[in-house]
Structures are given as structure tokens and as C-alpha cells.
């Protein structure tokens, strides 16, 4: 009886949908029914190949997998991981094996340019033959041995640390020429900087599968208002960047009078080829965390992720120094306050993927302000411009403080932490960029008589100066010239074999123990009286 009731209810719903949405819905039903009818004989046919695959497995392993092609994320991520694993021989079968891969054609190929580029790497077989075999294979015990497990990525975590080692996709010479011509049409010459701006809204998903077939509200926590990015875009334009607003089937236009800010998503310039080409050639990508991120990522372009909840930050790229990330503000509704990082985890929403989960936990996600977005863009641009200036055989000197090794009771905790971080940063880059002969060193001054405070020491601060003299082996305070001289030395050819050093400019004061300093002061009673 239950089966009859369910069947009756299903048929009733189909009739209701057809009455409500008309001929388009009727054709859609026929399309789905036709697909099912075609699949039945193919699935029956697939039983025989699956039996053969099992029989020959002692000698050769046949593995079958599909590459979904319904969005950028799937169509880049999955083939990439498979390609990486094969190239670096990670988790491959110990015996002989043969891999059969195909593009899953149940949905329309999302980007024809990507399909063309992947076909240069793989010999794709027809999906109508392999897909039934794959489905039947998964019904037979031991199917995992005949599936390419690496393609089933539950998280984008690069546990084998291979992403940065290899770039799987490249353009042909003809494509490079065509791409440059298209950029020239827009007014972008060779060497001009441009940024891809990707702001997620519900437009694409709604167009692909309308809400009457699927409720997309569970994804709403990720959506953004494109207009909040105008201030950041204007800042980039001021710095000489072109800004391309990317997207397919976006909800809002991105209108600006600035010729460097281009609403590419709503222009006749948009094409499958240019989607990929712009992502591959951009100076960096400013994104709210979408499938398009994988385009600049696979071509090793820097990405600034903004407005992302933690769960949408890919750990495969977040570690990289090419990335900057800020998340949405997590606000506890009942107390109307922002949660700290530890509280976001303790409330169980660090990896939440549905709007309803945030609602159940009483947490509201608040967008970053236009000014916060602008600040991130400025930091990203500054970082990249700094790195461009780091040419071979260059020397970088960072000014820190002796507070990395001692505690100054008149300075804050954050001051000491940031100064110490600078010293570690110098060591990191000294190692990372040493192969390019780029040197990093740190200069750590102590109490310095600066030109602007010299008059203070000449009058009111004489006793302080005297005290500093007696606790310094060289018997004087430092000057700005002492610091400058060291910086000049470290940036000269005379120091070409010095890197990763942190050098105090303190006249030897840091060499004395606390006991020695106390004894020196005790023995200078006249100074103590003046103090």
C-alpha cells in the first residue's frame, strides 16, 4: 500500500509540475525519461565488461573514473589531482594497471576551452560506454580497487604537497596569440596589470537548476553584493590595474565610469576561452571563494580570498605565501558580538557548509565592509609589488628591535610579538630565496639618539644618557648614523655572503647579564642620586 501511495504521489507531482510550468517542463520530463530508458540496456550490457575486469584483475587492474564538468571547481580539481598523482607516482597500484577516464556528459560541458586543454593530457573515452560500467562496478564488492580513488576528493587538502611543483595546463602558441589580441581589443597592452574579481551570488546555480527543482538557500551564506567591491576596484584602478568582474549568469551588473573597471560577466567579451585566459594571466584574483578560484590556482596565480567562511577555505592553497585570506565576521546573535577564532571552532561552525547550521547555532555571518575589502586589496598589491622588486642578487634589510631578545616594560605585548616575528620572517626568506641570491638580514637597534630627540638628551635626558653609557661596553649611546652604516654594509657587495642574520646595534649592551648591569649601576652612586 505504501508503494502504491508513493507512486501515486510521484505521478501527481509530475502532472502538477507540467500544468504549472507548461511545455518546457513536459520536454524536461521526456528528456529525463529518455535518459533512463537508454541507461537500462547500457547497464545490462555493462555487466559483462565488469565480470571481465574482475577476471583479469590478477594480471592487470582496470580502473575507471569520470571527470564531472558542470563547473570550474570539479572540472579543474579532479583531473589535476589525478594528473599530479600519476606524475609523481603517488598511491598507484603495485601491479600493472590501465586507467579509463571520461568526461561526464549528463550535464553540458561547462567550459569548452578547459575540455580542449584536458584532452591534450588525457585520452577520454565515450561517457555513454564507461559511465554504465562505472555504475555497475560500484555495485560489486571490491569496487574500490577498480576506481581511481584520488579523484574522490572530500576536501581540497594537498596532503602530498605536490600542487606547487607542477603546472598541468598550458596554452598553445596559437591560443597565446589569440589571447593577447583579445586583451589588446580591450586596451590592455603587454605588461599591463589586471585583476580578476569573483563575487559569488546565486545567479549561476539558479540558471543551471532553477529553485523549483532544487532549493539553493542552503548556499546563501556564501553570497555577496558585488557593489561592496567598488571601493577596492577603484583603488586597484588608481594603482594602474584593470579589474575584470568575472562570472556567468550573475545577478547584478557592476557599473563604473572608470574605463579600467570592466563588467566582463555582462559584456560581449565573455567566452569560455577568455574565462580561462584571464584567470591564467591575471596579476592576482580577488575572490569570495568559488569554483573559478581553481583557474588562477592551477596556473599558479596569487589569490586574495575574502568573505569566506572557514569551511570554504581550501587547505591546498591557504598555506601558500601567494594567498591572503580574511573571513566573514561571525556574530553571536543573542549577545550581538563577534566571535573569536577559538569560539568559532567551539561553536561548531568552523566547517559549516549550510545556512541552516549557522541559524541553528544562533550565529549571523556579517560581510566585510568596503573599507576592509579595500585594505586587503592594498596589502595584496603591496606584497606583489614588493616581490617584483626582489630581483636576483638583491639584498633586503628589515629594521626590528632588541626587544626580540629582551623585554621592554614600557612596550606592549603585540610590540614584542611582531618584532620577534620579523626576525623569524628574515630567516624564512633567507632560506626560501637564497637560491635566487636574494639576501635577507635584520638590524636590531637599542636606545638610539635620533636627530629629532637629540635636544632632549642634551637638556633633560642627560642622566638617562649617562646611565645608558655606563651599561654599554662601548660607553655611549647609539646614533642614527650607526644604524645607517650597518644597513649600507648589508646592502653592499661587501656582505654578499651574509644572510639570515639578526644583528643588534647596541654597543655590546646585550652581552651583559642582568647581574652585571645591576652591579654597574650600584657602583655609580652619583648617577643613582641624579636619577
pLDDT in tens, 425-468: 899 989 988 888 899 999 988 776 655 555 555 555 555 666 66
Do 142 and 182 sit in the same domain of this protein? Answer: no
Domain that residue 110 falls in: 30-165
The tally of domains found in the chain comes to 3
Do 230 and 372 sit in the same domain of this protein? Answer: yes
Q: Distance of CA 335 to CAs 303, 342, 365, Å?
A: 34, 17, 14
Query: So what's the pLDDT on residue 399?
Result: 87
Contact 227/197 with Cβ under 8 angstroms?
no
Contact 488/425 with Cβ under 8 angstroms?
no
Query: So what's the pLDDT on residue 152?
Result: 47
Q: Which of 135, 165, 195 is the last residue of a domain?
A: 165
Evaluate whether residue 25 is within a structural domain. no
Evaluate whether residue 19 is within a structural domain. no
Query: So what's the pLDDT on residue 196?
Result: 96
Evaluate whether residue 382 is within a structural domain. no
Helices and strands counted in the chain (H then E): 20, 16
Predicted TM-score (pTM) of the model is 0.73
Q: What is the CATH number of the domain that holds 474?
A: 3.40.50.720
Distance between CA atoms of residues 407 and 424, nearest Å: 17
Least Cα distance to 325 among 364, 275, 383 occurs for 383
Residue 356, all three cell numbers:
541552516
Query: So what's the pLDDT on residue 422?
Result: 86
Evaluate whether residue 183 is within a structural domain. yes
Evaluate whether residue 171 is within a structural domain. no
Distance between CA atoms of residues 278 and 285, nearest Å: 10
Least Cα distance to 232 among 388, 386, 368, 384 occurs for 368
Do 114 and 187 sit in the same domain of this protein? Answer: no
Q: What is the CATH number of the domain that holds 248?
A: 3.40.50.2000
Do 147 and 278 sit in the same domain of this protein? Answer: no
Q: Report, as an integer, the average pLDDT of 507-523.
A: 67
Q: Which stretch of 109-118, 227-236, 449-458 has the lowest confidence by average pLDDT?
A: 449-458
DSSP symbol at 435: G
Query: So what's the pLDDT on residue 116?
Result: 94
Do 154 and 184 sit in the same domain of this protein? Answer: no
Do 516 and 411 sit in the same domain of this protein? Answer: yes
Distance between CA atoms of residues 276 and 253, nearest Å: 21
Q: Report, as an integer, the average pLDDT of 231-250.
A: 94
Do 293 and 398 sit in the same domain of this protein? Answer: no
Do 316 and 276 sit in the same domain of this protein? Answer: yes
Query: So what's the pLDDT on residue 20?
Result: 67
Distance between CA atoms of residues 476 and 179, nearest Å: 64
Strand partners of residue 65 = 101
**DSSP three-state, residue 409:** coil
DSSP conformation letters of 146-212: GB-GGG--SS---TT--GGG-------HHHHHHHHHHHHHHT--TT-EEEEEE---SHHHHHHS-TT
Residue 333, all three cell numbers:
546573535
Checking if the pLDDT of 201 tops 70, the result is yes
DSSP symbol at 333: T
Residue 147, all three cell numbers:
576506481
Do 428 and 476 sit in the same domain of this protein? Answer: yes
Distance of CA 227 to the CA centre of its chain: 22
Evaluate whether residue 2 is within a structural domain. no
DSSP symbol at 522: H
Do 394 and 372 sit in the same domain of this protein? Answer: no
Q: Which of 142, 165, 188 is the last residue of a domain?
A: 165
Q: Report, as an integer, the average pLDDT of 133-147.
A: 85
Do 160 and 180 sit in the same domain of this protein? Answer: no
Whole-number average pLDDT of the chain:
80
Distance between CA atoms of residues 52 and 101, nearest Å: 18
Q: Which of 346, 377, 408 is the last residue of a domain?
A: 377
Q: What is the pLDDT of residues 174-184, one digit of tens each?
A: 999 999 999 99
Do 184 and 233 sit in the same domain of this protein? Answer: yes
Q: Residue 238's pLDDT band (boundaries 50, 70, 90)?
A: very high
| 5 contact partners, CB below 8 Å, separation of at least 6 | none
Q: Which stretch of 32-41, 108-117, 274-283 has the lowest confidence by average pLDDT?
A: 32-41
Evaluate whether residue 334 is within a structural domain. no
Evaluate whether residue 5 is within a structural domain. no
Q: What is the pLDDT of residues 148-165, one digit of tens each?
A: 864 444 444 566 666 666
Amino acid at each position: 500500500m505504501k508503494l502504491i501511495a508513493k507512486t501515486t504521489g510521484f505521478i501527481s507531482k509530475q502532472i502538477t509540475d507540467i500544468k504549472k510550468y507548461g511545455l518546457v517542463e513536459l520536454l524536461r520530463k521526456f528528456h529525463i525519461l529518455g535518459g533512463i530508458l537508454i541507461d537500462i540496456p547500457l547497464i545490462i550490457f555493462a555487466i559483462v565488461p565488469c565480470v571481465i575486469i574482475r577476471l583479469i584483475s590478477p594480471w592487470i587492474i582496470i580502473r575507471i573514473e569520470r571527470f564531472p564538468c558542470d563547473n570550474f571547481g570539479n572540472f579543474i580539481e579532479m583531473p589535476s589531482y589525478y594528473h599530479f598523482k600519476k606524475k609523481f607516482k603517488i598511491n598507484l597500484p603495485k601491479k600493472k594497471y590501465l586507467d579509463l577516464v571520461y568526461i561526464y556528459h549528463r550535464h553540458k560541458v561547462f567550459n569548452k576551452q578547459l575540455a580542449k586543454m584536458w584532452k591534450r593530457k588525457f585520452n577520454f573515452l565515450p561517457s555513454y560506454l564507461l559511465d554504465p560500467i562505472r555504475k555497475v562496478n560500484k555495485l560489486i564488492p571490491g569496487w574500490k580497487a577498480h576506481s581511481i580513488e584520488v579523484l574522490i576528493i572530500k576536501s581540497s587538502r594537498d596532503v602530498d604537497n605536490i600542487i606547487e611543483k607542477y603546472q598541468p595546463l598550458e596554452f598553445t602558441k596559437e591560443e597565446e596569440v589569440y589571447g593577447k589580441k583579445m586583451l589588446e581589443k580591450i586596451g590592455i597592452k603587454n605588461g599591463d596589470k589586471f585583476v580578476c574579481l569573483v563575487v559569488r551570488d546565486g545567479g549561476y546555480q539558479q540558471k543551471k537548476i532553477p529553485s523549483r527543482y532544487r532549493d539553493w538557500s542552503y548556499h546563501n551564506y556564501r553570497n555577496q553584493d558585488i557593489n561592496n567591491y567598488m571601493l577596492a576596484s577603484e583603488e586597484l584602478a588608481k594603482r594602474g590595474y584593470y579589474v575584470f568582474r568575472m562570472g556567468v549568469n550573475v545577478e547584478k551588473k557592476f557599473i563604473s565610469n572608470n574605463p579600467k573597471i570592466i563588467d566582463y560577466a555582462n559584456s560581449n567579451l565573455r567566452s569560455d576561452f577568455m574565462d580561462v585566459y584571464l584567470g591564467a594571466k591575471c596579476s592576482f584574483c580577488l575572490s569570495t571563494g568559488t569554483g573559478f578560484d581553481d583557474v588562477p590556482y592551477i596556473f599558479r596565480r596569487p589569490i586574495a580570498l575574502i568573505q569566506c567562511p572557514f569551511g570554504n577555505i581550501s587547505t591546498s592553497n591557504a598555506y601558500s605565501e601567494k594567498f591572503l585570506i580574511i573571513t566573514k565576521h561571525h556574530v553571536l546573535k543573542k549577545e550581538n558580538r563577534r566571535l573569536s577564532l577559538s569560539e568559532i571552532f567551539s561553536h561548531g561552525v568552523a566547517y559549516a557548509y549550510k545556512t541552516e547550521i549557522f541559524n541553528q547555532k544562533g550565529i549571523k555571518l556579517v560581510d566585510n565592509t568596503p573599507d576592509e575589502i579595500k585594505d586587503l586589496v592594498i596589502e595584496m598589491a603591496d606584497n606583489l609589488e614588493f616581490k617584483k622588486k626582489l630581483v636576483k642578487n638583491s639584498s633586503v634589510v628589515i629594521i626590528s628591535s632588541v626587544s626580540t631578545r629582551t623585554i621592554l616594560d614600557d612596550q606592549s605585548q603585540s610590540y614584542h610579538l611582531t618584532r620577534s616575528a620579523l626576525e623569524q620572517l628574515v630567516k624564512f626568506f633567507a632560506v626560501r630565496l637564497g637560491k635566487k641570491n636574494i639576501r635577507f638580514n635584520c638590524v636590531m637597534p637599542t636606545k638610539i639618539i635620533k636627530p629629532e630627540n637629540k635636544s632632549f638628551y642634551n637638556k633633560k635626558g642627560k642622566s638617562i644618557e649617562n646611565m645608558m653609557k655606563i651599561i654599554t661596553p662601548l660607553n655611549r649611546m647609539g646614533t642614527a648614523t650607526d644604524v645607517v652604516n650597518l644597513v649600507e654594509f648589508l646592502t653592499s657587495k661587501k656582505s654578499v655572503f651574509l644572510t639570515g642574520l639578526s644583528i643588534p646595534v647596541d654597543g655590546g649592551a646585550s652581552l651583559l647579564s642582568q647581574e652585571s648591569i645591576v652591579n654597574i649601576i650600584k657602583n655609580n652612586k652619583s648617577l643613582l642620586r641624579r636619577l
